[in-house]
Structure 1
Amino acid sequence: MAFLAGLLVLDAPASALNNAGADAGARTDNTIAVKKIRTPQGVLPYVSAQAFRYWLRTGLETSGGDWVAAPVFREGKIAYTDANPVRNWDDDLFGYMRAPSKKTDAVKAKETTPLEKDREITRVSPFRVGTFVAIAPSPIVSDFGTMTRQDGDPVPHEHEFYRAHLRGLFSLDLTCAGTFFDSERVGYKNLDTYRREEAQNEGCREVKVRKQMALRLPIEKRCQRVSTLVRALAELSGGAKQALHYTDLVPAIVFLAVVKNGNNPFYRALRASKTHQTEFDREAFAEILRVYKEDFLSDIHIGWAKGFLDEERQALQDAIVAAASSLTIHLQHPREAIQAMADKLADSDNEAWYE
């Protein structure tokens, strides 16, 4: 049993990456507010996990690579994916929930995999993402504009933006990737008659995982799906207000490692200083290496872009040199760190991580 644990930091120099919609209490009727958390220390802008997953999923779908995206179907106010983890890579790694429907448009949807009568299917997402919250409090700025390309008085509008370093965690359950449970537990009813048959035709073998019966894809296919997902983190793009607040979403900082369980050891490696600046916490980092020493199953890959908080990057580099640890730690550019980890996840010689 193993998990890929990761920490990402997005540098938002003047951004509005995820909005909350109209602000009912604003001075103008059409003010757009950013998502934010109010704390005693100050306001923390954030990006929801749903938004991040959407950026990543959309990037995978449009990359032109091997990724196999599930078709999406809609019935009135209900939407769902094909819910076939054997065929669709995102159904496998992002999870799903689907129940039978008697609506006419659902019955006529020929592109979707049929669903066994009177059986709902659900899958817990192996890929889990936290909310990306500013490391330090950040003042929210209001920007005013006008629509003037028309006759008559200008039409004013207002929106919020911020300057922040957004920190988020993710975890990828390598054991469950490409492993389709066939039980009656909620979240583990991954299959029905149609999907079970397709799994067998695709070479899935029966296994017992975490005391439950499952069908599992060959290791080469599992490695391919996982590594493709991880590589996409190096090409991350998206976000709201990009026409006015263009922001490069390639992570400025990345911590990555394969660990024994779903706990993420990296969160406290960074902190906010008393002056609300992002700092590398050397003592916390040394404690992480000591406390989690036996949990790391791979090298630790850290990506930190030069030109981003260079003094803190140097402090990290000094801490790595000074660490009295048997762990191997690589300090690279974030894209290099992501690619290096993806290469190791693509290597079937590391099959033990997927057990």
Structure 2
Amino acid sequence: MTFLVGQQILQIKAGAPNNGRGEDNRGMVKQFTAGRGDKYPYVSAQAGRRWLRDSLPAGEPTSPVIRSGEGKKQQAYTRGRPDLYLDDDLFGYMIAVKADEAGAKKGESKTFMRDTVLATGTLVSVVPSKPVMDFGTMSRDFEPGTHPVIHEHEMYTADLAGDLLLDLPRVGTFETGGRTTKAALPGGLADEVVDKGGSEVVLRDVQCVRLPIEERRRRVAVLLRTMAMVKGGAKQSAHYGDRTPGLVILAPIRGGTNPFTRVIREREKATYFDADVLREEIEAWADELDGPVRIGWAPGFLGSQRDRAGSDLADLIKEERLVLGHPRTVLNTLAEEIESGERDSWFDDPR
């Protein structure tokens, strides 16, 4: 079984991409305090996943959201149809519905849950960065001598890093039951998947139904291409900025351990790409890596570090154990390899 693991780093310039709760009529960005009072702005995993959903191609249907109840008893959930919708498949859900609405057979559980296939970490500033308070005024068409209305909000400049993991064997594979695993689909819909060309499989000792490999390849390729052109975030009218990764690391690895979380780190109060850490991790995990480590790095991001890394890691690049290129090129090339069937072994779980 193969997972795609790694990190993505976003470059935020005077931005406010994810807001927290306001205080005293001020807009606040999400942040936390660590160490000796250092401030670390962040973008929540929920927000980052929302950006991906909203950036999916126009022709890609997304799961409708159902809202029910009132007040504290409100609920909101998607349709829970991973067989129909890519986002339900990759992002997961928990849904409680009437049996007949879910296609369940009489007596079956009314609760269906799918653990996420795409795990995303919180995007946290690599280096402490204290947000500053910006303010604006509204005084248009006010009478002379009238005080303007003041509005305030925070913004910051920082490089945000977050971990990634994509469980490839579970893409398009839906649990139908198990002693410790809730069903992702009720029996009626599971039968429908098989009737439409799917198959029954056992994955990690759990009975499942699985979509055809062509659709599973397509879904991963769509996700990778979306990562290459993602857009979103709050305060775009005043703080518009690029939300595609300035740097992304992706590696196919058996077992799902992510050894590349320490490649991007702080050094001398700046974001630093540690080529020595990357090299040692590649050597240490050589027996588990199922292909080259891919690094998409936008020109100009982190100044001359990109050229220096290319020189320091030239032997790994020559041996085709490492790929270094533009994030869009690296992600799109990997999408093409997967969609063409070159990486079908990554979708299998022989154990």
User: TM-score when scaled to structure 2?
Assistant: 0.91
Task: Verify the 8 A CA contact 1:253 1:334 in the aligned structure 2.
Answer: yes
Superposition pairs for residues 53-72 of structure 1, below 5 Å? 53-60=49-56, 63-65=57-59, 67-72=60-65
CA distance in 2, matches of 1:262, 1:195: 29
Match of 1:34 among 29, 39, 45: 29
CA distance in 2, matches of 1:268, 1:310: 20
Deviates more, 1:141-150 or 1:114-123: 114-123
1:128 maps to 2:125: no
Task: Verify the 8 A CA contact 1:256 1:341 in the aligned structure 2.
Answer: no
Superposition pairs for residues 1-355 of structure 1, below 5 Å? 1-23=1-23, 29-40=24-35, 42-60=38-56, 63-65=57-59, 67-76=60-69, 77-100=74-97, 114=103, 118-151=109-142, 152-185=146-179, 188-274=182-268, 276-323=269-316, 327-355=320-348
| CA 1:131–1:247: 2 relative to 1, 3 Å | same
* Deviation at residue 115 of structure 1 after TM alignment: 5.2
Task: Verify the 8 A CA contact 2:178 2:207 in the aligned structure 1.
Answer: no
CA distance in 2, matches of 1:116, 1:242: 47
Task: Verify the 8 A CA contact 1:8 1:254 in the aligned structure 2.
Answer: yes
* Deviation at residue 245 of structure 1 after TM alignment: 0.8
Q: Calculate percent identity across the aligned residue pairs.
A: 38
Question: Can you list the C-alpha shifts for 1:76-128, whole angstroms capped at 9, x where unaligned?
Answer: 221111111111111111111111259xxxx9xxxx75555652111111111
| CA 1:334–1:354: 2 relative to 1, 3 Å | same
CA distance in 1, matches of 2:103, 2:237: 41
CA distance in 2, matches of 1:269, 1:318: 16
Cα RMSD over matched residues? 2.0
Q: Unmatched 5+ residue regions in structure 2?
A: none
CA distance in 2, matches of 1:324, 1:199: 42
CA distance in 2, matches of 1:119, 1:176: 22
* Deviation at residue 328 of structure 1 after TM alignment: 2.3
| CA 1:196–1:98: 2 relative to 1, 3 Å | same
Question: Can you list the C-alpha shifts for 1:22-62, whole angstroms capped at 9, x where unaligned?
Answer: 12xxxxx31111111211252110000000000001111xx
Find the residue that maps to 1:313 and give its secondary structure: helix
Question: Can you list the C-alpha shifts for 1:137-173, whole angstroms capped at 9, x where unaligned?
Answer: 1121111111223534211111111110001111110
| CA 1:308–1:219: 2 relative to 1, 3 Å | same
CA distance in 1, matches of 2:10, 2:315: 27
Task: Verify the 8 A CA contact 2:10 2:160 in the aligned structure 1.
Answer: yes
Find the residue that maps to 1:353 and give its secondary structure: helix
CA distance in 2, matches of 1:324, 1:258: 16
| CA 1:328–1:322: 2 relative to 1, 3 Å | closer
| CA 1:147–1:92: 2 relative to 1, 3 Å | same
| CA 1:187–1:164: 2 relative to 1, 3 Å | farther
CA distance in 1, matches of 2:19, 2:199: 45
CA distance in 2, matches of 1:243, 1:292: 45
Task: Verify the 8 A CA contact 1:254 1:337 in the aligned structure 2.
Answer: no
* Deviation at residue 190 of structure 1 after TM alignment: 1.0
Task: Verify the 8 A CA contact 1:254 1:334 in the aligned structure 2.
Answer: yes
CA distance in 1, matches of 2:198, 2:103: 20
CA distance in 1, matches of 2:94, 2:294: 34
Task: Verify the 8 A CA contact 1:257 1:298 in the aligned structure 2.
Answer: yes
* Deviation at residue 6 of structure 1 after TM alignment: 2.9
Structure 2 letter corresponding to 1:34: V
CA distance in 1, matches of 2:87, 2:316: 39
CA distance in 2, matches of 1:191, 1:199: 10
Runs (4+) of structure 1 moved beyond 4 Å?
112-118, 322-327
* Deviation at residue 197 of structure 1 after TM alignment: 2.4
User: TM-score when scaled to structure 1?
Assistant: 0.90
Q: Unmatched 5+ residue regions in structure 1?
A: 24-28
Task: Verify the 8 A CA contact 2:55 2:229 in the aligned structure 1.
Answer: yes
Kindly tell me the number of residue pairs found equivalent between the two proteins: 338
Structure 1 letter corresponding to 2:48: F
Find the residue that maps to 1:50 and give its secondary structure: helix
| CA 1:216–1:241: 2 relative to 1, 3 Å | same
